[in-house]
Structure 1
Amino acid sequence: MLQMVKADEREESQGPLRQDADSSGPVPSTPPHLSHDPATNAKRTDPFQFGQRVLSETDDVFEYNAWDHVLPDSAHYEYCESQYAAQRATPVSDFDRARFNEHPEKWWDLFYKQKTSTFFKDRKWLVQEFPVLQEITRKEAGSKVVLEVGAGAGNTAFPILRLNENPELKIFAVDFSKKAVETMRSAEDYTDGNGIMAAEVWDAAGDSLPPGVEEGSVDVVIMIFIFSALNPKQWQRAVTNINRILKPKGEVLFRDYGRGDLAQVRFKAGRWMEDNFYVRGDGTRVYFFEKEELEEIWGGSFDVLDLDVDRRLIVNRQRRIKMYRCWIQGRFQKKSLEPLAE
């Protein structure tokens, strides 16, 4: 049976747990070494390469804290299925299901009231995973509009703001939690943003566009661990809203939880709402996706440029415990309606 350490039910990846150097430069001709020496072989040009510490049959799994691309064995999958069965047998009550789904922004307000801006670390890794963010922040990039959905305390928007050299860049950081928006607006970086950044309240699955954002005006939409917070019934509306906001050929930068992630397997009784959909102890919701599921959800209105599973085995070397993490990362591009030939 898989052993797991006790941890907070919310465990977002703070980005790839790598010691890689920046992604510039040629791909090394020598195979990656387990030491991840950034001076010799840790550079990469493919943002979806997801690390280079590969576990072989001859390696000691407890030699390092993390391994990339590790597929769980059959025993782990059997354990997961037994966990899912136990979760389904003890679902959330009908009363709680209604109150957690009726006003989800209430629970995020409480979360940010308690955690403020200290819970999540800044996502400095995003520029490496999504090079388009480097391109649009260059000095000569011209007029560009970025919209982050589910911006929280600004842990994505503020690093982009600090990186920015483009005087024509506009960053809209939106969240349906009023408390989250208040947290962003009170930050020193926001005050010093010279009007480049605007934090606003917006429900991605609502009936209106974000304040100040016109239809077809956005170049890049960022959705990091936000789609999973929606009820599955809200997915299509959210995708439609994102499609309306983006320019033709505009991109969605996406990262979220994959099915079988440690955060899903460890849920206890009274948290299961439906398959792969749970409520955390703080009242916020989370869904765990299959890759094929996301292809179907986004593939109708968008071209799927990249979509892959980022698997990692995290090791507690002292206690000799193995923990499997699973995230899905993608890039979706709004389809351009070509004019009909005469």
Structure 2
Amino acid sequence: MATGPDSDDDKRLKFGNRLLTDPQNVFQHNAWDNVVWDEEQEAAAKKITEKQLECLAQPEKKEEYESKADEFWNTFYSQHQNRFFKDRHWLFTEFPELYGRKDCDDNNDSNDSLCKPQDGENTSGSNTTVSSPQQSSGELDESCLSTAVDKKCSLVDGATAPCDDYPVNFLEVGCGVGNTVFPLLNTNKNPNLMVYCCDFSSTAIQILKEHPDHDQKRCCAFVLDITEENPEVPFPTESLDIIIMIFVLSAVCPEKMQAAVNRLASYLKPGGTILFRDYGRYDMAQLRFKQGRCLSENFYVRGDGTRVYFFTQGELRNMFLKAGLLEKENLVDRRLQVNRGRQLKMYRVWIQCKYIKPVNPVS
């Protein structure tokens, strides 16, 4: 799936650090964190969404948006190419796990430090057979078909994360044209890093592969529908250290979300992490939808045929826990963005999560 629009500043403090203490100063900065909504504002937002539900899109149109979803995203990327989204350098602020480490000192006892694999740990890789890619999913580079060596480093809290001396496998779901992939490849200097990246749009993947920074030795891009029951992927189960999901699950039909999350969780190594950020309930984008754009409760179609859902923390918590993952972080980022020139206030709501696959799952 392709991702939704980015409106975050490229360079910023980790969210939660810029607080509006004096309303008179609201236009001194472009954005303020953790802007608390009062009951009146919450009620007004809920009333808008209830009104949207009174005029749903026609059933035949809903079916068209589902059956032709890939065509709508292909059209989107054919029109915008690589000019629509900004490169997501801010991801390294919110998700420092993406940096990796230049040193893995066994004597470093910091709670956030990484250490080398324990003696006797498996280094031979999984014996799971990697299925050959389907022709309908687009052409895969030969480098995509190699099975990565399964080495990892342990965190104090029982999770795992990569050391720069050992092979590391990342997957970005909904990579679009590479606005996360290329900053990641250019920032994380681990020579053994392999970034798998997939998108619903074959057009987006083709644009990504034509990018001058695309390196087949460190990047494997392929077309994938994450709602497909038995998708062909270029890696075995339990082989990924990190899965990145940025404004992607919201593009999936709500009835198919849980199965998609379950499937993605099966690709994580024990101790592997899902890094997630997406739209929250009553975000400005939700409240701006006109009549006839609502497909179902909190699920909408944009004018270009692409779709978007707006989550609550509880919905996401339930999905990830049902997939057998443990919660490390589930935060609401309520941000007040302002247009200082036009003196406008724009209330954004995003949800940011980190979920970990347990090393020793409870039977």
Q: TM-score range by the shorter chain?
A: 0.7 to 0.9
Q: Whole-Å Cα distance in 2 between the matches of residues 58 and 267 of structure 1? A: 28
- Provide closer, same or farther for how the CA distance between residues 161 and 19 of structure 1 changes in structure 2, counting only shifts above 3 A: closer
Would you say the 8 A contact 1:228–1:288 is kept in 2?
Answer: yes
Q: Whole-Å Cα distance in 1 between the matches of residues 65 and 101 of structure 2? A: 38
Q: Whole-Å Cα distance in 2 between the matches of residues 11 and 320 of structure 1? A: 25
SS in 2 for 1:61: helix
Query: Cα distance, 1:137 vs. partner?
Result: 7.8
Q: Whole-Å Cα distance in 1 between the matches of residues 101 and 320 of structure 2? A: 24
Amino acid at match of 1:144: V
Residue 273 of structure 2 corresponds to which residue in structure 1? 251
Would you say the 8 A contact 1:16–1:51 is kept in 2?
Answer: no
Query: Cα distance, 1:228 vs. partner?
Result: 0.4
Residue 39 of structure 2 corresponds to which residue in structure 1? 74
The answer to whether 1:130 aligns with 2:123 is no
Give the counterpart of 2:224 among 181, 188, 202.
202
Query: Cα distance, 1:129 vs. partner?
Result: 1.0
Identity of aligned residues (%): 38
Would you say the 8 A contact 2:4–2:248 is kept in 1?
Answer: no
Residue 298 of structure 1 corresponds to which residue in structure 2? 320
CA offsets 1:269-307 (integer angstroms, 9 cap, x no match) = 111011110011110110000011111111121001111
SS in 1 for 2:169: strand
Would you say the 8 A contact 2:100–2:190 is kept in 1?
Answer: no
Residue 178 of structure 1 corresponds to which residue in structure 2? 202
Query: Cα distance, 1:210 vs. partner?
Result: 4.7
Residue 356 of structure 2 corresponds to which residue in structure 1? 333
Q: Whole-Å Cα distance in 1 between the matches of residues 188 and 11 of structure 2? A: 24
Query: How do residues 268-307 of structure 1 correspond to structure 2 at under 5 angstroms?
Result: 268-300=290-322, 301-307=324-330
Q: Whole-Å Cα distance in 1 between the matches of residues 182 and 357 of structure 2? A: 25
The answer to whether 1:166 aligns with 2:218 is no
Give RMSD over aligned pairs. Answer: 2.1
- Provide closer, same or farther for how the CA distance between residues 16 and 306 of structure 1 changes in structure 2, counting only shifts above 3 A: farther
Residue 84 of structure 2 corresponds to which residue in structure 1? 119
- Provide closer, same or farther for how the CA distance between residues 136 and 284 of structure 1 changes in structure 2, counting only shifts above 3 A: farther
Query: Cα distance, 1:143 vs. partner?
Result: 0.6
Residue 95 of structure 1 corresponds to which residue in structure 2? 60
Would you say the 8 A contact 1:229–1:284 is kept in 2?
Answer: yes
Amino acid at match of 2:184: I
Residue 331 of structure 2 corresponds to which residue in structure 1? 308
Query: Cα distance, 1:97 vs. partner?
Result: 0.7
Residue 41 of structure 1 corresponds to which residue in structure 2? none
Residue 240 of structure 2 corresponds to which residue in structure 1? 218
Q: Whole-Å Cα distance in 2 between the matches of residues 77 and 339 of structure 1? A: 39
The answer to whether 1:321 aligns with 2:344 is yes
Q: Whole-Å Cα distance in 2 between the matches of residues 107 and 150 of structure 1? A: 14
Residue 46 of structure 1 corresponds to which residue in structure 2? none
Residue 144 of structure 1 corresponds to which residue in structure 2? 168
- Provide closer, same or farther for how the CA distance between residues 11 and 204 of structure 1 changes in structure 2, counting only shifts above 3 A: closer
Give the counterpart of 1:85 among 50, 54, 73.
50
- Provide closer, same or farther for how the CA distance between residues 215 and 73 of structure 1 changes in structure 2, counting only shifts above 3 A: same
Farther-moved stretch of structure 1 (10-19 vs 121-130): 10-19
Residue 233 of structure 1 corresponds to which residue in structure 2? 255
Would you say the 8 A contact 2:98–2:188 is kept in 1?
Answer: no
Would you say the 8 A contact 1:107–1:284 is kept in 2?
Answer: yes
Residue 177 of structure 2 corresponds to which residue in structure 1? 153
Would you say the 8 A contact 2:46–2:282 is kept in 1?
Answer: no
Q: Whole-Å Cα distance in 2 between the matches of residues 215 and 120 of structure 1? A: 31
Give the count of matched residue pairs: 301
SS in 1 for 2:338: strand
CA offsets 1:191-222 (integer angstroms, 9 cap, x no match) = xx151101101111112345311111111100
- Provide closer, same or farther for how the CA distance between residues 17 and 178 of structure 1 changes in structure 2, counting only shifts above 3 A: closer
- Provide closer, same or farther for how the CA distance between residues 142 and 117 of structure 1 changes in structure 2, counting only shifts above 3 A: same
Give the counterpart of 2:69 among 98, 101, 104.
104
Bigger relative CO (Cα 8 Å, ≥ 6 apart): 2
Q: Whole-Å Cα distance in 2 between the matches of residues 272 and 136 of structure 1? A: 45
Q: Whole-Å Cα distance in 2 between the matches of residues 209 and 220 of structure 1? A: 19
- Provide closer, same or farther for how the CA distance between residues 170 and 209 of structure 1 changes in structure 2, counting only shifts above 3 A: farther
Would you say the 8 A contact 1:174–1:200 is kept in 2?
Answer: yes
Amino acid at match of 1:196: R
Consecutive unaligned residues of structure 1, counting only runs of 5 or more, are 1-9, 21-48
CA offsets 1:13-64 (integer angstroms, 9 cap, x no match) = 34357643xxxxxxxxxxxxxxxxxxxxxxxxxxxx5142211256432333
Q: Whole-Å Cα distance in 2 between the matches of residues 249 and 201 of structure 1? A: 26
Q: Whole-Å Cα distance in 2 between the matches of residues 204 and 159 of structure 1? A: 23
The TM-score, its normalising length taken from structure 2, stands at 0.78
Q: Whole-Å Cα distance in 2 between the matches of residues 277 and 215 of structure 1? A: 31
Would you say the 8 A contact 1:251–1:334 is kept in 2?
Answer: yes
